[in-house]
Amino acid sequence: MFSKILIANRGEIACRVIKTAQRLGIKTVAVYSDADLGARHVAMADEAVHIGPPAARESYLLGDRIIEAARRTGAQAIHPGYGFLSENAGFAEACAAAGVVFIGPPPAAIRAMGSKSEAKKIMEKARVPLVPGYHGDDQSPDVLAKEAVRIGFPVLIKASAGGGGKGMRVVESAARFADALAGAKREAKAAFADDHVLVEKYLTRPRHIEIQVFADAASCLYLFERDCSIQRRHQKVIEEAPAPDMDPARRKAMGEAAVAAAQAIGYRGAGTVEFIADQDGTFFFMEMNTRLQVEHPVTEAITGQDLVEWQLVVAAGGVMPRRQDELRIDGHAVEVRLYAEDPARNFLPSTGTLVHLKLPEEGPHVRVDTGVRQGDTVTPYYDPMIAKVIVHDRDRVSALRRMAVLMGETEVVGVTTNAGLLKALCSHPAFVGGEIDTGFIERHRETLFAAMTPADDHAFAIATLARLVEWQEAAGDVARASDDPWSPWNAQNGFRLLDEGHDEVRWKDGERDVAVVVRRLRGGGLRLELPVGTLDAAVQRADDGRLAMRLGDETFVATVVRRAANDGGIDYTLFADGRSRRLRLVDPLDVTQYEATASDETAVRAPLPGKIIDLRVKAGDAVSKGQPLLVLEAMKMEHTLVAPFDATIKSVRYAVGEQVAEGAELVEFEAAG
């Protein structure tokens, strides 16, 4: 076994590999960019080596720099994690040439599966079922368009060299094919330095089922399946194992097909063979990921195995710890990906500092894989995942119920997250009942997003009571520091001349402006005047810093986090009853909060930091509402910004290739005359 390994990755996968290495007594070396100087994986490792600036192409994708770090620190092997260099055959060969073991498959296997087109040809020879499509070398737009017509719409355009939803477009008709092809090729070129694509028949209600395979020098086996059908923008959101409604015969057929795929390329180590399955039970090969997958923890949960340990054992020349007939399925596991993103804004990634972070506690049923801590920053340079939360329980319903509760208790302030959507998904009757396919989120968007409604009276009441506690605590500090603590100026009773004591607090919830009046009753209680009526209340600070509240006949504990926003305003984020809300405190002395900003109505601004990669308009152009203006690349994804209304372009402020900050004015419109 190795005595020291280097992890050529970052974030939660680096931390996850380090945990297994530590358990096995193996020393670890982390690598980090300027953006990750204080990152969790750097703190966890025994050693850390700086490898460059924040951009991945200048740090985590520089194989020679990483190999040099391994040689300099005496690491005998490199674990690539997933993403970055994990499926780079050239990097695997360079490791071997440098005398460093690559903890992954042989370079030839990576190359065989690295091109989706070549992989399809190999699978066809191995008699693995394939989706009807075109996987040829002729990449001319005319040929691809003709093949799409032959296959029959809808079709799926996919980047041949990669995955993760990048370079992927669903096309419903021939009229939309050219634009979709251009976008897919451009995104594939940016992500994988290869714009080769393939075109396949798009199944309208498919399931995404993948098989975990593992091989050593002598044999290959499968560790059952995972269902990864719940997706947004072609990227997975929830994964579970085993797949619901999977009968033993189908499991065996898919497992054996996956093993045949791995054996056809002389595979070694951990890999995943991904299938697309129709509702009638038929399945087709999609691709093989020649690495460990993000969702591997659900497989570990139901099998009781540590796949990273298996990787280390096999890479060191050993044999797999189990045979096929020794593997059993125990219970059901569900994994959710907690992202810094805004589901209500088409899952737009969110950046910022994690000023407050409360993830579920690990225990017999719960595992949390994360690469961040409170105080860390989610930057625009890397994937915006905050954590993976994994639940293992006796059955699927129990696991989903437990996960829904955990997502309701998750607290993140500083970025917008998908926690509310994850809770809604795990408690949605259709999903719990077994309705599963890749279009589930879009089909049930209305009910899933119903939880993201405007704040109710309870939210305004909670925020107001939190504000009141802040006033009382500040006044108490002033009183204790004064020469006369009993001075009426130190009173905390909201005194008003010729009126009973009261305070008024104003909030904004989107465009809604709400005033809440707090009246102090003679008996010592509080009465809140809310938009739809009055409510008696009480509040006090608990020992753990949370607020113990009574609203009417209801008692509960809430977490309220006050945060200064980037625009100078003050936001209050509330967590109570498994829900979260964010309200803006209205300062009556700040007149700018009441002034309309005309520029907001005459320009399109950058929703997050990124790089302009395509411009569709120029000054003087007339555009209609919904017309694409430009494409912004941020957090490894393309974001097309469109005209909010019919207008004439006055100016385009940036050129292709330029970096822009969040909020930057990108396209200005002529003022309406």
Enter the tokens of residue 74.
């005496």
- What's the rounded Cα separation, in Å, for the pair 110 and 508? 53
Other beta carbons within 10 Å of 595: 8
Q: How many Cα atoms occupy the beta-carbon half-sphere of 288 within 13 Å?
A: 37
CB 110 within 8 A of CB 88: yes
Pairing of β 570-576 and β 554-564: antiparallel
Cα–Cα distance for residue pair 273/285, rounded to 1 Å: 8
Given a contact cutoff of 8 angstroms between Cβ atoms, the answer to whether 641 and 604 are in contact is yes
d(CA 55, CA 599): 32
Query: What letter would DSSP give residue 164?
Result: T
DSSP 108-175: HHHHHHHSHHHHHHHHHHTT--B-SEE--S---HHHHHHHHHHH-SSEEEEETT--TTTTEEEE-SGG
Q: Do residues 269 and 105 touch, judged by C-beta distance below 8 A?
A: yes
State both tokens at 565: 């926003």
**CA–CA separation, 133 vs 140, rounded Å?**
16
- Dist CA 543 CA 561 (whole Å): 16
The amino acid sitting at 202 is: Y
The secondary structure of 82-101, three-state, reads CCCCCCCHHHHHHHHHCCCE
Residue 291 known to be catalytic: yes
What CA–CA distances, in Å, run from 91 to 86, 96, 262, 421?
A: 8, 9, 21, 38
Q: Distance (Å, rounded) from C-alpha 295 to C-alpha 16?
A: 12
Token pair, residue 232, equals 């947004």
**Residues 307 and 378: beta-carbon distance below 8 Å:** no
- For 588, other C-beta atoms within 10 Å of its C-beta total 11
Identity of the amino acid at 493: N
Smallest CA-to-CA distance from 673 within 648, 643, 642 is with: 648
How long, in residues, is the chain?
Answer: 673
| Contact assessment for residue 334 and residue 298, using Cβ atoms and an 8 Å cutoff | yes
Query: Which segments of 265-361 does DSSP mark as H helices, in order?
Result: 296-303, 307-315
Q: Are strands 526-530 and 533-541 parallel, antiparallel or unpaired?
A: antiparallel
Helix-helix angle 116-125:248-264, to 10 degrees: 110
User: Using an 8 Å Cβ cutoff, are 368 and 359 in contact?
Assistant: yes
Instruction: Let me know: does 204 contact 154? Beta carbons within 8 Å.
Output: yes
Closest-CA residue to 390 (of 334, 325, 332): 334
Q: Each residue of 565-575: b (16+ CB within 10 Å) or e? A: eeeebebbbbb
Which one from 226, 268, 291, 584 is the annotated catalytic residue? 291
**53, 51, 54: which is closest to 78 by C-alpha?**
51
CA distances (Å), 275 to each of 130, 199, 259, 504, in order? 9, 16, 13, 59
Tokens representing 641 are 């910004």
Active-site residue list: 291
